[in-house]
Amino acid sequence: MLLEIRQFGNSAGITIPKTMLLSAHLAIGDKVEARNVINGIILEPAKPRKKYKIKDLLVLCTNENMVLSSEDKEWLNAKSVGQELLDE
């Protein structure tokens, strides 16, 4: 299908026919990812970002995966260089 690129303020855009939106399972207001490829642009439905709750993340913290590396320990023991405040 031939679509025309048009001026929209300081940007450019195209009008996507409703039948094409429906066949791509898209609707007005949906987010799409745009990526450059050789000689073109591909638009794909954006993957929804998962929303996490702190309690669900804390369940994943085990003694095995909470081992501090030497770099972690060095960072934790480093002297403050700004105006950081620690709640104690």
**Domain map (residue ranges) of the chain:** 6-45
- Measure the CA–CA gap between 1 and 14, rounded to whole angstroms: 12
Binned average pLDDT, 10 residues per bin, the chain of 88 residues: 93 93 91 94 88 90 87 88 70
0.75 surpassed by pTM: no
Closest CA relative to residue 41, chosen from 33, 31, 49, 52 = 33
Position of tokens 């403050």?
A: 80
Alpha helices in the chain (DSSP H): 18-23, 54-59, 70-77
Per-residue pLDDT, 30:
92
Options 1.20.120.610, 3.10.105.10, 3.90.550.10, 2.10.260.10; which CATH number does 6-45 get?
2.10.260.10
